[in-house]
Amino acid sequence: MRYWVLAAILGVAFLAQTTVAGFLQIGGVAPNLLQAVVVSYGLLFGSPVGAVAGALVGLLRDVAFGRYIGLSVLSLGAVGWVAGLVERRVYQENPLLPVLGGLLSTFLAEGIHYGVLRLLDPDLVAAAAVSRRVLPGALYTTAVTFLVYRRILRAYGYLRPEPGGVIRSVRRR
C-alpha cells in the first residue's frame, strides 16, 4: 500500500475542504470532501485503513478548529471503519457502492455528532438547524463521494500494488 500517497490525498482534501468547499455551497450546504475520501478509503482498502484515515483527518479537523477534540476523530473514524466492513463482500466497481456509502456515512457521522453533543449539551440549539441540512448535505456529499471514489478506484492498482491491488470483481473473474 502506498500510504504516503493516501496521506497526501487526505492532506489536500483537508486544505480543499477548509478553503474551497465554502465557496461551493448550495443553499448553505457545503460538500464534505473529507468524508468522501474517508468513505472511499474504507470501501476500497478496508476497515483499518478507513478507520485510521478517518481518525487522523478527524483529529486534524478538531485541532484546527478548536472544538471538542475527539468528536470528529470518533465520527470520521467510525465512518471509515463501517465503510471498510463491506470491502471484501462487494464488487468495488459497482456504482451503487459510493452512492450508498456517501449517503449512509453522512447519517452515521451526523448521528454520532448529535449523540455526543446531546450528552455534553442537553439544550443543543443547533440540532434543529442541522437536521434541516442533513439531507441536502447527504445528497451533496454523496455526489462528491461518487466522483472521489471513481477517481481513487482508477488509481487503485497504483495505490495498492499486487497482490492486494486486484479489484474485487476482477479477482473473481
Partner 1 sequence: MLPPPHLRRTTRSTLTWVLVVLTGLMLTFTLIAVTSGDRRTASLPENLLATVLYPFQNAAGWVTGRVRDVTGGIRELMYLREENARLREQVERLIHLERLNEQLAQENQRLREELGLQDRLPHRLIAAQVIARDPSLWFQAVVINRGARHGVREGLVVVNHQGIVGLVERVTPFTSTVRLMTAGNFEITARNLRNGEFGVVEGQGDGVVVRFPYGGRDAVRQGDVIVTGWFQPEVPEGLYIGAVAEVERGDHDLIPVGVLRPGVDFQHLDLVQVVVPEPPGEEAAQ
Contacting positions for partner 1 (CB under 8 A): 15-23, 25, 28-30, 32-34, 55, 60-61, 63-74, 77, 110, 113, 116-117, 120-121, 124-130, 132-134, 137
Of 40 and 92, the one with the shorter C-beta distance to partner 1 is: 40
Min CB(91)–partner 1 separation in Å? 26
Of 115 and 164, the one with the shorter C-beta distance to partner 1 is: 115
Of 68 and 143, the one with the shorter C-beta distance to partner 1 is: 68
Q: How far apart are CA 169 and CA 63, in angstroms?
A: 39
The answer to whether residues 49 and 6 touch, using CB atoms and an 8 Å cutoff, is yes
Nearest to 142 by CA among 32, 15, 57, 53: 32
Both ends of the chain: CA-CA distance in Å? 23
Q: How far apart are CA 66 and CA 80, in angstroms?
A: 22
Min CB(118)–partner 1 separation in Å? 11
**Grid coordinates belonging to 46:** 478496508
Of 2 and 132, the one with the shorter C-beta distance to partner 1 is: 132
Min CB(99)–partner 1 separation in Å? 20
Min CB(44)–partner 1 separation in Å? 21
Q: How far apart are CA 104 and CA 83, in angstroms?
A: 9
